[in-house]
Amino acid sequence: MSYKKGTIIFARRTIFADNGQYDLTGHPGLIPVAIDDYTDEMYYLLLTSNVSRILAFPNQYYDLSNCWERVNLKKPSLINLRYIYKDHASGKKIGGLDPRTYKDVIRKLKIYQNEHPCEYYEEIKDRL
């Protein structure tokens, strides 16, 4: 992986899994979690600044509201644990999670994905 674990990157051309819409302006917040050794595609999670979503779906998100400034985000954000994306994503590093927070994100991701697996979880669960 060309990014360290917990790196937050800005990337363009994401197609959102929940609605199929194409993100033309860029999405400030991809967190790489694994790499496909054969294709070099990255598995990653997306961030959202719509922090009210956690009220409706508390287990689906990891809340960064208490550390958003420390990890170099522009506003409070959540990590969406529902969808794991796979693509040749790349972008500029904008921040990063400390190792303890990253491990906690992965722990909560495993818990959520074991109950509600998305299409890519089986491909990477042994590498998380």
The residue extents of the domains of the chain are 7-127
CB 108 within 8 A of CB 90: no
pTM value is: 0.88
pLDDT at 64: 94
- For 69-83, letters b (16+ CB in 10 Å) and e give eebebeeebbbbbbb
pLDDT at 14: 66
pLDDT at 90: 75
Q: Which residues of the chain have pLDDT under 70?
A: 1, 12-28
pLDDT per residue over 49-81, tens digit each?
889 999 999 999 999 999 998 988 888 999 999
Domain 7-127: give its CATH architecture.
Answer: Roll (2.30)
pLDDT at 109: 98
pLDDT at 2: 72
